[in-house]
A and B are shown apart, each in its own frame.
Chain A
Amino acid sequence: MKRKSIWLVLSLIVLLVVSGCGNKSTPTSSDPGASGDVKTVNIGYTGPLSGGGALFGKDVTEGLDLAVDEINAKGLMVNGEKYRINLIKLDDQYMPDKAATNARRLRTEFETPVIFVPHSGGAFALQQFNETDEFLIMAYTSEGKVAKTGNKLTVQMTTPYSLYPEVYSKKVMDKFGKKLALIPTSSQYGKDWSEAMIPAWEKLGGTIVANSPVDYNKEVDFNTYVSKALAANPDVLFVGGPSQPTAMVIKQARQLGFKGGFILMDQAKVEQMEGVIPLTDLEGAVCLTPVYLYDSPGAKPFVERFKAKYNGKVPAWESSKNYDNMMLLAKGIEKAGNVTDAAKILEGMRAVTPFNDPTITAHIPGIAEGGGSMTPGTGIMIENGQYGKQFSIPNPADTTKK
């Protein structure tokens, strides 16, 4: 009896100590009754909040939350009535089937006219029934195919990766040489990216000397794959998956004696890699421009607002693109004068483009046929231990410039 109570006390103490360690802040988006005559419009999110993709999901929702806070501070004016956005987040652990279940739940239980989904697998799953269930998919994915399914209620929120291979290849090939080895993440997205990469590299006269895909989310050690790729003596490595594991791949390549350049898949964000490895390890890498260096009037103020809200955390494109598109959505809802009809909301969004609001980080020229992104690509090369000059890659889907 006595021994039992000792254990109880001990475990209580440990629990108290442990729970005191972290900075607990449970974000609850709903605070009903803020003001009597403010109505609520529910917006859905299904994406990873736990499991291997949890950090990615957090980056996405932090961008969305910041936008929602700013929108609600002013209030959304729809047909003269004031609304606030209530963002409802469900966890799908990066799995398309769970995303589909979540989306049905969001639609039936919370009547969300719009659902954000930050992965191509989920977007494809939702496209199977979103037209009949009448909700708009806001897809944060660089997979160009989501805009080519003929779905009428999809918006792709970021530049398709098909823009990058040729331009990035040319940059590194000129500087380092023609032999490329691939160590991409083995997800569907990684495979598709590699398939776009290989012909682009060969078209420029280069050769592929090795291809060893590895699951960046599931593997604990990358040395095996890096050793294998380096055994073929490449001049350039094509790497990419989630940022932090990508940084480890690069670090191990340097430790194994690799001196050449890197092409980074757009999933890997260099600003998130800076915390893991020194910039000198990234010498000769060509990659997406970090948001905080991005050449637009809204980018730097956004980074500052983001850092102020999230304890100095530096945002990457996951956060900024979701922020920008939530802002576009809010403007679209106001323009449409409708908070329930997905098709009308999409029409409203199209009507407010080109979207140049001073708060957003990257100009949104328009929404292409099929919902495709018109936003140009970005790129930057790391040279002599620092960021070089950033460059822009025109998006052929952008019809507004002709």
Chain B
Amino acid sequence: MDLLIQQIFNGFTLGSIYCLVALGLTLIYGIMQVPNFAHGHLYMVGGYVTFFMMTLYGINYWLSAIIAGVVLAVLGILLERIVFNPMRNSPSTNKFIAAVGAMMFLEAAARVLWGSDFRSIPAIYDNVVMIGGVRLTEQRLIIIAGAVILMVALYVFLKHTLIGSTIEAMAQNRDGASLVGIDVNRVAMLTFAVASILASAAASLSGPIFLVYPAMGSLIIMKVFVIIVIGGMGSIPGAVLGSFILGMTESLGATYISSDYKDVIAFAILVLILSLRPSGLFAKGGH
């Protein structure tokens, strides 16, 4: 019984990290119809910025995370301006290739600048908390809490602020949004900024229990793509639900079925969901 609860918590932690990255990816897809393969690498850069702020400049963990968010917002905007904006009228294959190119560029740049070494963000919240026979570190609780807070904040931002609702409007109907006077360029930049901040937050939150290294982005992007396909490309509730489905499948599947077949189980669920609902759980019509 303790093991079950422990694994549910583990599934939640994993799901929270996936969720923050998946939300950004799905936002970008919803607005731009671009599969941003470089999104995992923005997560990676977020991890590095947090790491260097803390170790090189001795800045406090939370402040480092905020700085990382700001740096990543700028990087996200630059990515949109330099890579995706010039290609906005190109066929989707071109955007697809551009996204892969951006991904390779970021990983190679990280390798050249920071080396291939594994780094670990100093863990400050490393104490173990016992909750009903389950052992959790404080950092894992912070991850879950942080993800929930950011999800609520994103919801409020999109639904209850004027600037946030421009993103929603554009996701729903691009032409309609421009007709009512929404600046398409500005919304594109805003979306990339928000998505990058979420990715950076995921890295800052998980950095102290995971490791920071150039290939970390490629690992997470694979899983996050599965998530947004499960949830429906461009759907926000789909990304949230998909993340927790994958997190739980991984932790419970590895425990009660077989750790060797964990990925097989995850993909079997993907196939099952897609065969029942070919465009994902929360597919939007019309694309």
Interface flag for B283 (CB, 8 Å): no
Residues of chain B within 8 A (CB-CB) of A227 are 3, 6-7, 10, 255
Instruction: Bin the interface of chain A by size.
Output: 35 or more
Docked-complex contact B117 and A55, CB < 8 angstroms? yes
Binds A, one of B62-70, B88-96, B205-213, B266-274: B205-213
Chain B 124-137 against A: per-residue CB contact (8 Å), 1 yes, 0 no? 00101000000101
Residues of chain B within 8 A (CB-CB) of A7 are 81-82
Interface flag for A255 (CB, 8 Å): yes
Query: A213 vs B254: C-alpha distance in the bound complex, in angstroms?
Result: 10
Interface flag for A394 (CB, 8 Å): no
Q: Which of A152-179 contact B (CB under 8 A)?
A: none
Q: Given that A11-B78, A220-B219 are known contacts, is A225 also in contact with B117, CB under 8 Å in the complex?
A: no
Docked-complex contact B10 and A212, CB < 8 angstroms? no
Interface flag for A148 (CB, 8 Å): no
Query: A265 vs B116: C-alpha distance in the bound complex, in angstroms?
Result: 22
Residues of chain B within 8 A (CB-CB) of A195 are none
Query: A225 vs B252: C-alpha distance in the bound complex, in angstroms?
Result: 10
Interface flag for A50 (CB, 8 Å): yes
Least CB distance, B107 to chain A, in whole angstroms: 7
Least CB distance, A263 to chain B, in whole angstroms: 19
Residues of chain A within 8 A (CB-CB) of B126 are 255
Residues of chain A within 8 A (CB-CB) of B11 are 224
Interface flag for B114 (CB, 8 Å): yes
- Nearest CB in chain A to that of B82: its residue: A11
Residues of chain A within 8 A (CB-CB) of B6 are 227, 231, 256
Interface flag for B155 (CB, 8 Å): no
Least CB distance, B98 to chain A, in whole angstroms: 15
Residues of chain A within 8 A (CB-CB) of B108 are 50
Interface flag for A16 (CB, 8 Å): no
Query: A186 vs B135: C-alpha distance in the bound complex, in angstroms?
Result: 26
Q: Given that A54-B215, A228-B7 are known contacts, is A223 also in contact with B210, CB under 8 Å in the complex?
A: no
Residues of chain B within 8 A (CB-CB) of A213 are 259-260
Query: A55 vs B10: C-alpha distance in the bound complex, in angstroms?
Result: 28
Instruction: Bin the interface of chain B by size.
Output: 35 or more
Chain B 2-33 against A: per-residue CB contact (8 Å), 1 yes, 0 no? 11001100110110010000000000000000
Binds B, one of A18-26, A67-75, A337-345: A18-26
Docked-complex contact A221 and B209, CB < 8 angstroms? yes
Contact of A228 among B3, B210, B218 (CB under 8 A): B3
Q: Which of A100-144 contact B (CB under 8 A)?
A: none
Interface flag for A276 (CB, 8 Å): yes
Least CB distance, B60 to chain A, in whole angstroms: 21
Residues of chain B within 8 A (CB-CB) of A57 are 116
Contact of B111 among A18, A19, A54 (CB under 8 A): A54
Docked-complex contact A220 and B216, CB < 8 angstroms? yes
- Nearest CB in chain A to that of B107: its residue: A50
Contact of A221 among B2, B13, B112, B114 (CB under 8 A): B13
Docked-complex contact B128 and A212, CB < 8 angstroms? no
Interface flag for B113 (CB, 8 Å): yes
Least CB distance, B144 to chain A, in whole angstroms: 13
* 9 A–B contacts, CB within 8 A, in A order: A7-B82, A24-B113, A51-B218, A221-B10, A224-B255, A228-B255, A231-B3, A245-B118, A257-B128
Given A55-B118, A186-B259, A224-B254, output 11 extra A-B contacts at Cβ < 8 Å.
A50-B107, A50-B108, A54-B215, A55-B213, A212-B254, A221-B13, A224-B14, A227-B7, A244-B211, A248-B120, A252-B209
Chain B residues within CB distance 8 Å of chain A: 2-3, 6-7, 10-11, 13-14, 17, 74-75, 78, 81-82, 107-109, 111-118, 120, 126, 128, 135, 137, 140, 206, 209-211, 213-216, 218-220, 250-251, 254-255, 259-260
